[in-house]
Structure formats: structure tokens, C-alpha cells
Chains A and B, each alone.
Chain A
Amino acid sequence: MSAEPITTFESSLDEVGVELVQTTSDQFESTLIPLLNARAVGTPLPFENVSLPDAVEVDPTVQELETAETGVTAAGYAIADYGSVVIQGGPDGEEPVSLYADEHVAVIAGSDILPDMDTTFDRLAEDIRSGTGQAVIATGPSATADMGALVKGAHGPMDVTVVLLEDR
């Protein structure tokens, strides 16, 4: 992967108010722990030798899900131009975990940063045709302007952090 998509990705994330944390597979746990709040939920990560710390509840009750402060999921890929992550959900619960917690932490492999929307849709089409039932292109936190002013955190998270695995 060239350095360019990361630089573009980082500045796009910055524009939508998302922090980018870069780390490696070995350092993942120690990087993640300080980012977690007291009540953290998550879904298993698909990256080899990378797993969630024990503090993260991967089989939450509804109550735990609703009151979670942090929700950690993997993202299938990211779009450098837009600062978006693509959350591909399934039975493990990526959709509710990335949606109910106050903060969503998306973990992404460096090689999965795609430059633009065109390449992203080529990938999405391929994935959907091979059975990916849900893919959410998520850009920044949930937001609304319906209550008379812009508010971050509407029905979904009010904060988003992206953790990038540089060596992946």
C-alpha cells in the first residue's frame, strides 16, 4: 500500500471529526485499552493474531448493549476520499454494536483502505453478490440537525475512532 491513501484517509477523517489511531498487530491490545471506556462491547475481529482484550464484552445482553460506552467492531474496508468505514454486519452483531454504544471504534487493516467511491462500489458489488447481507458506509458519528441545531449523536454513536493496523 502506498502512503498516499493513508494521508488522504487521515485528513478526510479529520474533516468529519474522527480520530485515527495507527498501530500494528502486536501493539493492538495496548493501543486499544486506553481507548476503551468502562463499559465496552465488541464483536470478534477477523484479523489473525489480533483479538479484543477481555474487558470487551463480545456477547452482551440487551442492557449491556444499550448502556455501552464503547463498541468495537472490524470494518471491511475504508474510503480514503470520504473518511468512511464500511461496516459489514452479520450474526456476530456488528450492526448493533457499532450503533448503540456512545462511541464506535472501527478496526481496519491498512490494506483495506480504498482510494475512492468507484473502487469501493466495485468491492461492495462483489461482496454483496457473494452474500454480504449488510454493509453500512459510515462517515463520522450519527448526527441530526432536526432539533434546531447540529447535534452529534442522534440515534447512533456520538463519537467514532478508527484504529488502523498498519501491518495488515
Chain B
Amino acid sequence: MSVDDRQRKAERIRHLLDTEGNNVHENTQVFNDGRYESTADLEDYDGLKDEARAIKEDTIERLPELIHQVIEAVETNGGTVYLADDAADANRYITEVAGGRDVVKSKSMTSEEIEANESLEASGADVWETDLAEFVLQVADEAPSHIVAPAIHKSREEIADLFNAHFDPEEPLETAEELTQFAREYLGEKIMDAEVGMTGANFVTADTGTLALVTSEGNARKCVQATDTHIAVAGVEKLVPSVEDLQPFVELIGRSGTGQDITSYISLFTPPGDSPTFDEGDELGPGDDREFHLVLIDNGRMEMREDDQLRETLYCIRCSACANSCANFQHVGGHAFGGETYSGGIATGWEAGVHSQDSAAEFNDLCTGCSRCVNACPVKIDIPWINTVVRDRINHEDQTEFDFLVEGLTPDEEPGRMDLQKRFFGNYATLAKLGSATAPMSNWLAGTKPAQVLMERFMGIDRRRDLPKFRRETLRKWFEARGGSRISRTDASREAVLYPDAYTNHVQVERGKAAVRVLEALGVSVQIPEVASSGRAPLSQGMIGTAERHAHEVYADLAEHIDAGRDVVVIEPSDLAMFAGEYEKFLPEQSAERLDSNSYEIMEYVYGLLENGASGRELRAGGGEGVAYHSHCQQRTLGLEAHTVAVLDELGYDVLTSETECCGMAGSFGYKREYYELSMDVGSELESQFQAENARDRTVVASGTSCLEQLESLLERPSQHPVQLVDPVR
């Protein structure tokens, strides 16, 4: 990306933060909190998600057969199915069916994807969006900023101003009730007059040809009932095999999206329906000669089905959980975090599949891989992985024959023309090694004004960030110099390998020393062998080939220790998350599992030792000391926040945990020129909580390196890793 592009991107984000950020933030927070509350009520949330995923896996696997089946079912019912190859094909059919008649629509992202309104209007039809948010956008001539609540970026005041200016009502509209009533009446007339009703479909059952529509306003019901011709537009992936298969989705979709146990209406239509319809005049007429057209759209989906990496995208039920749970999305909304049609975490997969990789490239970097969306997704899609894969593909675009020249000079597996910023952050481990070897010179250089300006210009590193200071004496050198572990292997209760991640070994050396002392205080004999870096840094830049190489090296370096009965203790949560997650994709199943099941986060390990009878006597007790603790995104996804809290609690610390899910830094993200302000905006929530009266005097601790770096820039007081807090020699 050029300097100018970065600048433009930064300005665009700044603009959205100022204009739409607050509304999006407020609303997505309500959805997100609602999701936690509503899913907690389920007896077996995880089981339900497994069930939903299994149904989708089966559906996509058997898709051609199910398409065949649904065609038969709909035709038996008296309807028609049209299989459209792409948007143009679908629109040709839809406009032909509508025949220039007026159309009332309920909300459908698939119809946005094919831009059905534009082609219907071009054919002479009037098209009315009857979903209130879509209606607002139609009046404002804007694109959706959220896949479920498309006008989420607009406040009541803005909508009132828009309506008052556009419709000039006798009495100016003001309250949400007045605006709703006005829209209901206005659209009610359109519904009454229209002859064609268009809906999407959340699900379509292959066995009976039943459409399931998940709605709250009642407009979809009216659009179907009041018209003579019903056109339903759905991607082919919306099929499920049978009516019974709808059950887990019905229980999950509202909870996952807007945080409602269930929306007001789940309509199960097996068209053509026979509800009385509105004829000319004042009488209700018989509804038994309705026409029904199901337009099933491919538009790239069958190719996605063949793509081992993008296939999972087709399991998506468009609930919006990955948008609502995402800190970056919460702050900028879908106008930045979205492509031509779709927005939020999974949008990268959709845009790359149905539009183009270029559309995905526009916003793909806004996914920091924090993994907060992973547990939120009702069909357990590995959304960060899809983002990483697409990033990798973008990196490999435009390869030239001279790539090998650059490739020979770089320590990674990536193509020559890759973005320099990504290459810089992706090779952090090499940089750290060099940085320590040449410290303090390297730090002086990096800290000078000219160097900062150059780095901003060529690598897009924001000059307002301080780069990490490399330490001349690495953790491994220190450990060697002190003569290795103070607990001999024969006296030890357990043996552990402390994983020397690039940050702990070269930058955050003190937390590594503290970890050694804490482990020894609990009777553990420690080793710190040379182990490759985890590959987290290159992975986050979409450098999958390089990350995979790291995975093989790490496994080779650690396997023998595991065989010798040593536990692998990891300080940096994002590295542990690699072992537990992405390594599954890089290593043979058995190897990945062996590494995962023998690896522990440092405080999780301390917790386990204490639980199993180790004495915490030598650890530094809290004596009531107030602590403000910020966990780490990936640590939370792994369910490991509680262990740190429990250990600190047990040792007599008074712990307050952060309510914000993300600090905003996310590894290299916050360093990047184009994202610096967004990163600080996301971080401001954590800042206000830790500066509040009940937290202001507490000692700040955080588990992740980048969280610590962000806290350093947000707060005036210092922060540290929790293991440093309980370090016996603190």
C-alpha cells in the first residue's frame, strides 16, 4: 500500500469514527451483551451449535442432490424454481416475472448482492423496501452498514431529520414511535397496491420447499399475503435437508445476532400460500391462485463449495454475531468493515466468493485475528482463518517473474511483491533476534525522529507509536548465565519447558524471568531451549507458508521434550492459541494434538500446580492489593481468563477484570499508520474503565504483549504480566 493509500484509508476511518462510530458502537454493544445473556439461558448451547454445524456441513456436501430435491418439492406444491448462475441471470428472470409491476420487498441481503432493486427499477417497476431500516436507507440512498440491522449507523434524530426533509409531514416527526407509525402507514399503502412481493429466505427446506423467514416487524408476512406473486431470492447454500433441521437454527439465530431468544416472527411458508389477498375494491379475495417463484442463486457459491478454504463460509447463517463481537466493527461499522454487500468478520469469505478478492481486500485487514467471533459463531466457522487465507491470497496476487530476487533475500516463504508493512511485521522474530544482537544501538536508531519518519513512509508504521525496545541480554542468555534451573530435575515435582517467544526472549524479558522464578517456587525444574517462533506474526499478516514452516520447526524443537515428560509452558497467549488452533492445519493431527495437550498458559499452569497440592507459600501474596486485570482476546477464546483471576484471588489480590473485550492493539494492527486511530479509539474503552474511580489506584496487569504495549500508551501508570505480580523476588 502506498503512503497516499494509507493516508486515505486513515482519513476514511477517522471520518467514520466521527460520524457513524457512536451509533454503531452503542447498538452492536446491545446486541453483543444480549448474545451473552440469551445464549447463557440455553441448556446445551455448544451442543446446539454442533448440531447446526453438522446440518450445514451435510447440506453443502449434498448440495446438488438437495437442489434437485427442492425443485421437485416446490414444483409439486405448484411453484417454480429458477436456478440462476449469477446476478445478471437472476435479475433477468426476476424482472421478467415482475413484468414492470410494482414490488414490495422485505429485507434480503441476497437481493442486495445481486442489486435486484436497480434492475427492477430499470424495467419500470416501483420497488419499495418495507423493512423499516431498509426503507430509511432507500430514502437516504445509502448502503447497509450491518447485515441484520442495516441502518444501525443512524440515530433517531438523523432519521427524523431525513424523513422531515424528504416527506415534509404536516407535523414534524420526532419520536421513534412517530417515525415507525409514519413508515407503517406510508408503506402500508404501497403493500396494499403492489402485486409482487419479494422476500429473501433465511432457510429453505429441501424436503418440503418451505421458506423460513426470521423477522420481527411483520412486513415480510404482509408482502407475501397482500400480493399475487411471491418471488423469494436465496443463495443455494440456504437449503437445509428437512423441516426438523430448522430447529437448532431457529433457537440460535436470534440469540447469536441481536441477542433475542427468538424474533417476533419465524414464518414457515410453503408457497404458494392460500391466505386471502387484496383484490381491487374493498373485498378480500381468494388467495388460491398465487404464483410463487423461488430464485436460487449460485453467483460463485458452487465454486466456493469446491474451495477447501472458503467452503465454510457457506455454513454462515448471516446472524451478524461476528460483526457484533468484533471490536473493530463496533467502532467503524460495515461502511468500513465491509465490501460491496456483506460486512463483518465473515464478509471476507462472502465478498471473495461472490464478488471479488479486490472487494475483500478493501477491508480484510480490519480482522486482527483476535478470535472473539469464533465462539460467537453459531455454526462454529473459523472466521479468522478465512480472513487469513484471503489475506494470504491477496499477498500472492500480482506475482512477477522477478519475485525470486526479493524472495532470496527475505527470511520468509512469501512472494517478492508483498506489502512491505506486512513483510516487516510478519518477520518480527528475525527482527527481534537482530534487534537484541545490536541493542542498544537498534533501539536508539528506531527511536530517532528520522527513523520514525522513514518507517512511517516506507512501512506504514505510525510514528506516534513507540517500537518495542530490544534487550541486549535475552531471556535465554540470562537463564544460561544463572546456570539454568535452580531446581534440579531429580528434586523437581515436574519438569517444564518455558517457551521463549520472541517478545519474552527479546523485549519483555522481565516477565520471562518472573515466570522462571514462579515455576521454581512451585517446585518445577525449568528449561529454556532454543525454539522457533510460533508463526503467529507471519500468520497475522496472511503469510501462511511462512507460518506453516514455523509450525514444523516448533514441533521439531519441542517433541523430544514432550516425550521426556516435560510440560510446555507458554507466556504469550497468542502463541498458545497457535498451538491450540492453527497448528491443526499445519501439522499431522496426532502431532498437533500432542503439542496442544501438553501446552499450558503460564497462569493456567500455576493454577494447575496449586490445585494439585503445590504450595504457593513462596509466591508473593497480595495482602489485599488492588489489581486491574485485562485478559487477552485469544486467551478468552481458549477459556483461560479465569485461571489467572483464580490464582490472583487465591493469593490475596483484589482483582477487577476488564469489561472490554479488546484493547485495540492486536499485535501489529495498532502500529499501522492507517489503523492507529481506530486502535486508540477501541482502546479508549479500556482506558476509561481502568481510569475510573474504582480502578484508578489498582496495579495494572495484562497477559498479552500487545495489550501491555497498548496499556502503556493508554495509561500513565505502568503495567505488567500477572506472573510478575506473584514473582517471589518482586
Contact = CB atoms under 8 A, between A and B. Distances in A.
Contacts of A50: none
Contacts of B131: 146
Interface in A97-130: 99, 117-118, 120-122, 124-125, 128-129
B306 interface: no
Contact of B243 (A121, A144, A148): A121
A137 B268 contact: yes
- Interface size, A (range): 35 or more
B270 A96 contact: no
A136 interface: yes
A38 interface: no
A148 B284 contact: no
B176 A134 contact: no
A89 interface: yes
Given A96-B275, A121-B246, A148-B156, A128 B284 contact: no
Nearest to A154: B217
B2 interface: no
Interface string B224-249: 01000000000000000011101100
Interface string B248-270: 00110000001001111111111
A35 interface: no
A128 B206 CA distance: 13
Given A96-B276, A143-B264, A147-B183, A156 B151 contact: no
Interface stretch (A1-9, A24-32, A58-66): A58-66
A95 interface: yes
Contact of A61 (B130, B266, B275, B282): B282
Nearest to A88: B268
A11 to B, nearest CB: 13
B225 A125 contact: no
B270 A99 contact: no
A139 B262 CA distance: 7
A125 B208 CA distance: 9
Contacts of B242: 125
Interface residues of chain A: helix, strand, loop or mixed (majority): mixed
B156 A147 contact: yes
Interface in B452-482: none
Given A99-B218, A151-B180, A117 B243 contact: no
B208 A99 contact: no
Given A61-B283, A93-B275, A96-B225, A122 B244 contact: yes
Contact of A125 (B132, B156, B244): B244
B266 A137 contact: yes
- Interface size, B (range): 35 or more
A143 B284 contact: no
A84 B286 CA distance: 28
A138 B210 CA distance: 17
A146 B130 CA distance: 12
B177 A151 contact: yes
A144 B268 contact: no
Contacts of A66: 188
B149 A155 contact: no
Given A95-B225, A154-B132, A155-B184, A141 B244 contact: no
A136 B132 contact: no
B222 interface: yes
Contact of B247 (A65, A94, A118, A147): A118
Given A125-B244, A136-B266, A91 B274 contact: yes
Interface in A129-168: 129, 132-151, 153-157
A156 B132 contact: no
Contact of A99 (B155, B159, B180, B225): B225
B154 interface: yes
Interface string B1-35: 00000000000000000000000000100000000
Given A62-B283, A143-B264, A154-B132, A91 B176 contact: no
B616 interface: no
A27 to B, nearest CB: 30
B282 A62 contact: yes
Contact of B264 (A96, A117, A121, A141): A141
Given A62-B284, A99-B222, A148-B159, A117 B247 contact: yes
Given A137-B250, A147-B132, A154-B184, A142 B176 contact: no
A99 B184 CA distance: 13
Contacts of A132: 270
B243 A128 contact: yes
Nearest to A119: B247
Nearest to B154: A148
A82 interface: yes
A63 B282 contact: yes
A15 to B, nearest CB: 8
Interface in B627-681: none
Interface in B267-311: 267-276, 278, 281-284, 286-288
A90 interface: yes
A127 to B, nearest CB: 9
B140 to A, nearest CB: 13
Interface string B100-135: 000000000000000000000000000000111100
A145 B176 CA distance: 8
B421 to A, nearest CB: 39
A118 to B, nearest CB: 6
Contacts of A129: 207-208, 243
Q: Which of A132, A135, A146 has the most CB of B within 10 A?
A: A146
Contacts of A60: 284
Contacts of A144: 132-133, 180, 216-217
A136 B221 contact: yes
Contacts of B218: 99, 142, 154-157
A125 B272 CA distance: 17
B176 A151 contact: yes
A84 B262 contact: yes
Contacts of B156: 147-149
A155 B264 contact: no
Q: Which of A66, A95, A138, A157 has the most CB of B within 10 A?
A: A95
> Top 8 closest A-B pairs, CB basis?
A148-B156, A156-B218, A154-B217, A125-B243, A146-B133, A149-B176, A146-B132, A155-B218
23 contacts: A61-B284, A82-B261, A89-B275, A93-B284, A95-B273, A120-B247, A121-B244, A121-B250, A124-B268, A134-B275, A136-B268, A137-B268, A138-B264, A138-B265, A139-B262, A142-B265, A144-B133, A144-B216, A147-B179, A148-B155, A148-B157, A154-B217, A155-B218
Interface of A: 60-63, 65-66, 82, 84, 89-91, 93-96, 99, 117-118, 120-122, 124-125, 128-129, 132-151, 153-157
Given A125-B242, A137-B268, A156-B222, 14 more contacts: A60-B284, A91-B274, A95-B275, A121-B243, A121-B250, A125-B243, A128-B270, A129-B207, A143-B217, A143-B264, A148-B154, A154-B132, A155-B221, A156-B217
